[in-house]
Amino acid sequence: MAFSPRRIDRIMSLLVYSVFAGLALWAGIKLINHSLNTRFYEDFLVGWETAIRTYNAQGRVWPRFTGSNHAAYMENLVRRMRGQDASPPPSNTRKRFVYRLDRLGDAEEDIFFLCFPDKMVLYGMSFKTFSSLDKRIDGRSDEQRGHFRGWKSKDGFSYIGQVLL
């Protein structure tokens, strides 16, 4: 059975339009995910870095960290910072030190911030997020060099990042 030229034209048109629609969808998803990564970095991570530097410049006392009181320590720090001109940035969760990164096509990431006078530690990142932040902060992705360093966490899936201030 031979296809008529009209039928071949319709099939080819459908194929071409499908490819263009798929490329437009792919590019749109990439653009949305890039904007979500940029918002996380510029609005949240840089906001925390600015708040820590301001808090340090004011000579404020940091809460006591025991190694097992992560959330309580950060709640205490946020409470102290809010009373000063070093207020931490708002988060997209109820906790100011937890940020939810929900990109299209990827699993949600709840990134926990632990801040100290000389560094910020980020828990719960995927390798994709870690690599993106490393490229943005250091200019290239290298786990052991630069201002942003990291390692794979004990769960084997997520990464822990450390921003040196």
Q: Which pLDDT belongs to residue 25?
A: 96
Q: Please check the confidence at residue 23 and state whether its pLDDT lies above 90.
A: yes
Place 1 in a pLDDT band, splitting at 50, 70 and 90: low
Q: What is the mean pLDDT of residues 3-32?
A: 94
Q: What is the mean pLDDT of residues 136-158?
A: 87
Residue by residue, DSSP assigns 37-76 as HHHIIIIIIHHHHHHHHHHHHTTPPPPP--SS-HHHHHHH
Q: Which pLDDT belongs to residue 49?
A: 95
Q: Could you report the per-residue pLDDT of 135-146, keeping only the tens digit for each?
A: 999 888 777 888
> Whole-model pTM?
0.86
| Helix (DSSP H) and strand (DSSP E) numbers for the chain | 4, 5
Q: Could you report the per-residue pLDDT of 40-95, keeping only the tens digit for each?
A: 999 999 999 999 999 999 998 999 999 899 999 999 999 999 877 889 999 999 99
Strands annotated E in the chain: 98-101, 109-115, 119-125, 148-152, 159-164
The token pair at 138 is: 């250091």
Cβ(150)–Cβ(159) below 8 Å: yes
Q: Which pLDDT belongs to residue 150?
A: 93
Cβ(74)–Cβ(113) below 8 Å: yes
